[in-house]
Amino acid sequence: MIRLIETPEQCCSCGACSSACPQQAITMTPDSHGTVLPRIDPEKCIDCGLCVRTCHFKGPKLQAPVATYAAQRVSKEKISLSASGGMFAVMAEHIINSGGTVFGCAMPKDNSGNFSPEIVECDSMDRLNDLLGSKYLFSDTDSSYRRVRTLLNQGKTVFYSGLPCQIGGLLGYLRHPYPNLITIDIICHGAPVAPIFNSYIRHLESSKKITVHDFRFRVKNKGWGLYYYYYYYTDSHGNRLNKCAEYIHSIYYRLFLSGAIYRPCCFRCPYAGPQRISDITVGDCWGIEKEHPDCGSIMDFKDGVSSVIVNSPRGAELLQSCRDALKIYPVDYSSIRKYNAQLKAPVRKPADYQLYMDAFARQGYKGIIRCYFRPSRWPHLFKESVGRFVKRKILHIQ
């Protein structure tokens, strides 16, 4: 029987093999750490090898960027809904208004009360807001690959947004190019799985006696570039309220930024480099005020600025079609890469990564908390607390 992978590091959980299997012999099954991996049913498998040919993760075909820009949405009202400069929203609106279909990540709650990040179809402006903003979670492609192929074969224009590995999965599944498909990925530094996030949410709800209805990462309430999170909730008296806090107040958010709760494949990601898989790559244009201060004459940096890496003629054509809704400034690729380490190499695995994963497998998010406050980390935590106290005092004096 075919063996797709030997270790979890060899699989990005995109589900392309499962979607492609003609016998439905492959199911994507979570392991004890919540990472979804392919499992082959030997009774159904006919050894056709299509799953192996579909898998892209071990040797993707990448392309070098052809142009790079700093960009920002013109509409100040609409840009606030996005984590940076609002590029995806502008392009998605153009596709929908032109009669096409958009796919992107939404994060609804399922019937069991868990947040369920998934790639969903959107062909109307009413649903587009659900796809905006940073999710910071790996999403389920579910049946999106099959649906995309159906739409493409019908002649529909499809705009598919996802992590680089999910785009690679789609292209591997389709197996040949479609002129009516446009893909966009993000500069991804790694993604945790939903079970860890949902365990965190349940801990938040039980400790504060609330019910969380919506959670947003990287909101710009305090300005662009600051890691604030925001959630809506109902308290024990039935009042609907909201909370905005800095990342430092969330152990989950801190561990996310450190890479300690990513999927195993993220540390060996073949897409974390200068060459890209999609027609367009977007991310935050960190350092724009230092590298290109003259760009400030046409953009307001505090509203958020996107980096736009064009990787194909198709991507260039889409960007050109959206220029009236954008402020665009050509920049050097090196200036974007300088502030985005994942355009150089995958994130480095933290030394205590396995400790956190095993703690979660044993005790869920409570295990992660105990691991975070383990005695061997006390000196580090003390120095961190003192540093934050001094910083706040200095800012107060200024």
One-character DSSP codes across 143-180: THHHHHHHHHHTT--EEEEE-HHHHHHHHHHH-S--TT
Q: How many CB atoms lie within 10 A of CB 288?
A: 24
For residues 262-274, one letter each, b for 16 or more C-beta atoms within 10 angstroms of the residue's C-beta and e for the rest, the string is bbbbbbebbbbee
- Which of 251, 267, 271 lies closest to 196, judged by CA? 251
Residue 238, sorted as left (phi over 0), alpha (psi -120 to 50) or beta, turns out to be left
CB-CB contact of 285 with 300 (8 Å) = no
Residue 396 has a pLDDT of 44
Q: Which amino acid is at 80?
A: S
Q: How far is CA 394 from the centre of its chain?
A: 35
38 vs 21: CA distance, rounded Å = 11
Residue 392 has a pLDDT of 58
The DSSP bridge partners found for residue 36 are: 30
Residue 384 has a pLDDT of 81
149-177 pLDDT, tens per residue? 999 999 999 999 999 999 999 999 999 99
Q: What is the DSSP letter of 345?
A: S
**Coil, strand, or helix at residue 394?**
helix
Mean pLDDT of the chain: 93
- Which of 28, 27, 340, 349 lies closest to 185, judged by CA? 340
- Helix %, strand %, coil % of the chain (to 5): 40, 20, 40
Q: How many CB atoms lie within 10 A of CB 1?
A: 8
Residue 288 has a pLDDT of 94
Residue 398 has a pLDDT of 42
**Coil, strand, or helix at residue 35?**
coil
**Coil, strand, or helix at residue 285?**
coil
pLDDT averaged over consecutive 10-residue blocks of the chain (398 residues)? 89 96 96 95 95 91 95 89 89 97 95 94 92 91 94 98 97 96 96 96 96 90 81 95 92 95 96 96 95 92 94 98 96 94 95 97 97 94 76 49
Residue 223 has a pLDDT of 76
Residue 395 has a pLDDT of 42
**Greatest alpha-carbon span in the chain:** 71
Spatial CB neighbours of 18, under 8 Å, sequence gap ≥ 6:
26, 27, 28, 38, 51
Token duo for residue 338: 């300088």
